[in-house]
């Protein structure tokens, strides 16, 4: 009986779940269930808790995340190019390297912009 790769992955994950999940259930069943306002407070180094935890934090370095969205796709396509690189004619290699260089220029400008505090 030959199984394909993805069903093997699924079986492996099922093995992980049926060996790890009982540990969590065991810990949940065995642990004490007493409730106490002091013990239930979130840990803040022993100080009295102030305000909510789910605040709106300042998303510093936000431009880096936007750069990720663009470069992620590019990196994925580069893998398909790398697979056939050695068998492509050299002229097409040049084309792709030109594409890479063209990519590096806006990347450098984005890095310059994301280093400035006012765009955070």
Find the radius of gyration of the CA atoms of the chain: 26
* Site residues (CB under 8 A) for other proteins, limited to 53-92: 53-55, 57, 59-61, 64-65, 67-68, 71-72, 75-76, 78-79, 82-87, 90
Q: Write down the least CB distance from residue 16 to other proteins, Å.
A: 5
Do residues 74 and 103 touch, judged by C-beta distance below 8 A? yes
Does residue number 3 form part of the binding site for other proteins (CB under 8 A)?
A: yes
How far is it, in rounded angstroms, from Cα 66 to Cα 109?
Answer: 13
Q: Write down the least CB distance from residue 106 to other proteins, Å.
A: 13
Going residue by residue from 8 to 47, which x/- string records binding to other proteins, judged by CB under 8 A? xx-xxx-xxx-xxx-xx-xxx-xxx----x-xxxxxxx--
Non-local CB neighbours of 111 within 8 Å, separated by 6+ positions: 67
């Amino acid at each position: 009986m030959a199984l394909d790769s993805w069903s093997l992955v699924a079986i492996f994950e099922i093995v992980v779940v049926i060996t790890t999940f009982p540990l969590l259930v065991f810990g949940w069943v065995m642990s004490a269930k007493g409730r106490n306002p002091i013990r239930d407070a979130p840990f803040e180094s022993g100080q009295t808790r102030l305000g909510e935890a789910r605040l709106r934090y300042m998303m510093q370095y936000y431009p880096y995340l936007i750069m990720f969205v663009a470069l992620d796709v590019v990196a994925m396509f580069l893998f398909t190019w790398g697979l056939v690189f050695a068998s492509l004619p050299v002229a097409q290699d040049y084309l792709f390297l030109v594409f890479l260089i063209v990519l590096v220029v806006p990347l450098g400008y984005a890095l310059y912009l994301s280093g400035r505090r006012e765009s955070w």
